[in-house]
A and B are shown apart, each in its own frame.
Chain A
Amino acid sequence: MNLRISSLTEFLVSDMGFVELVVYGVVLGSIIALGAIGLTLLYGVLRFAHFAHGDLMTLGAYVVFLLNLELLPTLGIPELKWGSLSFGGRMLGALIVSMGVTVLVALLIDRILYHPLRARKSSPAILAIASLGMAFILRSLIYIIWGPQFLFYSQELRPAWALPLGVRLKPDQVLILGLALLLVLLLYLFLQYTKLGKAMRATADNPQLALVCGIDTGRVTAWTWGLGAALAAAAGVLYGVDAQLRPDMGWSFLLPLFAAVILGGIGSPLGAFVGGMILGVVQQVSTAFLLPTYKPAVAFLVLILLLFVRPRGLFGGA
């Protein structure tokens, strides 16, 4: 084993201190949470594990690359950077368009792949494997179009802000966290207070009774895809802002996404949010002791430990 263990004192006073790792963990956690909330909603309403969810993240990230670095500049639309951020309004516009495009792609995939399977009453395992196939297709298409190399939204070095407790934070990271939290808040308000949001929760609770109430389950399904895909696209773009774009970026997020969903209790959006945050923080903090390669292993260790204590997850079933 290739472990790098530091002493406790070294850990606490080092440049990469505990508080800073927690802050980075919250940023990473907010990205995991965005993906995990969509995944848990899809599971709740459609009752299958959507393995292509990570690749919807990738798609969202590359559509922004296409728009903001390839298409819009050639149209002569300038990017006016905001303050110390690495991007500005053009990027935000591209993000919104990309969320829309990803939603359309998800709805199209549902129409041609999952809907016919559901109509034939295929088992959840069949749907999950079909989505695994779709994950490979999406990833391969991205490989073909953009190639295997790393891509960056911006390679410019921006000075980090020095905050108290030895925390250095890039302005971009503050925006990532802010945007992610805003999207989560909007989703919460939608689910809690709109008729359609309540119908979505009702359908996740008891699909048969939703039908008995006269709820249009087709419309609820479409909205679930829409929200899930939009949040996934945003998660992919925000990760791209923080790090870089790779065709397998979303795929590598899949394990933490599922871990967050299970940790929070399958089907619970609040649980997925909290689970994502916990995993983000634990994974980042673990890098003080372990090589970053072990991050997914740490995620699963946390998951296993928690499931011993709460087998249905943090916010799982009554």
Chain B
Amino acid sequence: MALLDVRHVTSGYGEMTILRDISMRVEPGEVVTLIGPNGAGKSTLLKTIFGLLPPTEGLMRFEDTDITGLKPPALVRRGMSYVPQVENVFPSLTVQENLEMGAFVRSDGFAERLEEMYAFFPTLRLKRKQRVGSLSGGERQMVAMGRALMLDPRLLLLDEPSAGLAPRLVGMVFEKMAEINRTGVALLIVEQNAREALRLSHRGYVMASGQVRLEGKGDQLLHDEAVGRLYLGGGR
């Protein structure tokens, strides 16, 4: 059974419909990337799954529960986390306080999980008492991911995790995503850096104008001529 199952979902902002009749799924432990041009509705799909936008039609299931219409606090308790593209940290809080906020709904095992996160992101341990506003872009992205991982989620939604980072750091972010996935966490990624993301992915969906146009295995999409020409930016 799929970890996340989205069926015929329509959603948008108020009167403005962005997503039309979207169906997609994420299997346990899988990495799935959403690619497509700007305005295709990739970020809107993540927000809809995470309950930040209410779907006007369709059904969503996570594990064996219906999550249609549930809000983020209910979803994080069920094992789903989300890293927004921008403003994904609390700048005036310290690194450690950011991680604590990630574990807000958790009542036990906080210290152990914090230790695991510091082992996973050693830089964060060194800077745990610094205000996140004073950190570099790459370090902030680690804080954002660490925060989302504090609840030990089974599905992590990542919106443009490498956007705005220096090329050297983009590689680091992709390495970390692969490592996170190796611990058994399924990832649903929206990424501009589509080629890199598809290499990491088991499967991908190509979206355009608020609809899913194509579904395929990661390397299949990577080598598809039409996808390459339209969405991966020409030759390799």
In the assembled complex, B29 has its CB within 8 A of some CB on chain A: no
Residues of B within 8 A of A213 (CB): 72, 76, 101-102, 104-105, 147
**Assuming the A-B contacts A212-B50, A318-B133, are A198 and B101 also in contact, with contact meaning beta carbons closer than 8 angstroms in the complex?**
yes
Residues of A within 8 A of B82 (CB): 212
Give the residue name and chain of the A residue nearest to B97 (CB): A198
In the assembled complex, B100 has its CB within 8 A of some CB on chain A: yes
Residues of B within 8 A of A215 (CB): 73, 101, 104
A216 and B133 CA atoms in complex are apart in Å by: 24
Give the residue name and chain of the B residue nearest to A215 (CB): B104
Q: How far is the CB of A189 from chain B (nearest CB, A)?
A: 15
Give the residue name and chain of the B residue nearest to A268 (CB): B92
In the assembled complex, A4 has its CB within 8 A of some CB on chain B: no
In the assembled complex, A123 has its CB within 8 A of some CB on chain B: no
A202→B90 contact, CB < 8 A = yes
Which stretch, A102-110, A173-181, A203-211, A305-313, touches the partner chain B?
A203-211
**Assuming the A-B contacts A201-B93, A213-B104, are A208 and B73 also in contact, with contact meaning beta carbons closer than 8 angstroms in the complex?**
no
A36 and B92 CA atoms in complex are apart in Å by: 20
Q: How far is the CB of A75 from chain B (nearest CB, A)?
A: 44
A198 and B100 CA atoms in complex are apart in Å by: 9
Q: How far is the CB of A221 from chain B (nearest CB, A)?
A: 14
**Assuming the A-B contacts A202-B90, A206-B87, are A214 and B134 also in contact, with contact meaning beta carbons closer than 8 angstroms in the complex?**
no
A214→B104 contact, CB < 8 A = yes
Residues from 47 to 103 in B contacting A, C-beta threshold 8 Å = 50, 52, 71-73, 75-77, 82, 84, 87-93, 97, 100-102
A205→B90 contact, CB < 8 A = yes
B88 interface neighbour in A201, A202, A209, A211, Cβ under 8 Å: A209
A210 and B102 CA atoms in complex are apart in Å by: 9
1/0 contact trace for A210-246 toward B, CB 8 Å? 1111111000000000000000000000000000000
In the assembled complex, A266 has its CB within 8 A of some CB on chain B: no
**Assuming the A-B contacts A214-B73, A318-B91, are A202 and B102 also in contact, with contact meaning beta carbons closer than 8 angstroms in the complex?**
no
A198 and B90 CA atoms in complex are apart in Å by: 11
Residues of B within 8 A of A208 (CB): 52, 84, 87
In the assembled complex, A120 has its CB within 8 A of some CB on chain B: no
List, sorted by A's number, 13 A–B pairs whose CB atoms are closer than 8 Å: A195-B100, A198-B93, A201-B97, A202-B97, A205-B93, A206-B89, A206-B91, A208-B52, A209-B84, A212-B50, A212-B82, A212-B84, A214-B72
Instruction: Please provide the 3 A-B residue pairs with the shortest distance between their CB atoms, ordered closest to farther.
Output: A214-B76, A318-B133, A214-B73
Q: Which residues of B contact A (CB under 8 A)?
A: 50, 52, 71-73, 75-77, 82, 84, 87-93, 97, 100-102, 104-105, 131, 133-134, 147, 151
